[in-house]
Amino acid sequence: MRPALVFSLLLSLLLTLDGVLFADGLVRRKGEDATLARLEAATSGLGLTDPAVATEARYTRHPAVSDAMAPFMDHPGAIEHFPTGTFWLPPPR
């Protein structure tokens, strides 16, 4: 097989994959826009600045009152430090 043919097949495969992923992103964005609209309605109705349910995330506070290592404490293998993390399941996929 000629190298130009291999390259063109690989390029067409990657372009097809790119198109499929782009279409999937557009479909998912429509669903997320509906969720965002509901969250905006809830936060404006309650007079909140954001849809935060718990205020235990230390890295979202003002930098003057948060820990220097706070952004690096949450990783996949981290132990849950706060009790509210046990009340909610991860979002459905």
* Cβ-contact 66, 59 below 8 angstroms: yes
Helix (H, G, I), strand (E, B) or coil at 16: helix
- Per-residue pLDDT for 1 more than 80? yes
Classify residue 93: in a domain, yes or no: no
Q: Which domain holds residue 51?
A: 3-74
Flag whether 88 is in a domain.
Answer: no
> Looking at the predicted structure, is the pLDDT value of residue 81 above 70?
no
Burial class of residue 26, CB neighbours in 10 A (0-12, 13-18, 19+): exposed
Count how many domains the chain has: 1
Cα–Cα distance for residue pair 81/46, rounded to 1 Å: 28
Domain membership of residue 39 (yes or no) is yes
Sign of the Cα torsion 55, 57, 62, 67 reads positive
- Is residue 87 domain-resident? no
Using the predicted structure, report yes or no on whether residue 41 has a pLDDT greater than 60.
Answer: yes
Residue 81 lies in a domain: no
Q: Is residue 63 in a domain?
A: yes
pTM listed for this prediction: 0.43
Q: Domain for residue 82, yes or no?
A: no
Highest mean pLDDT among 14-18, 54-58, 71-75, 81-85: 14-18
- Mean pLDDT, rounded, for 57-80: 60
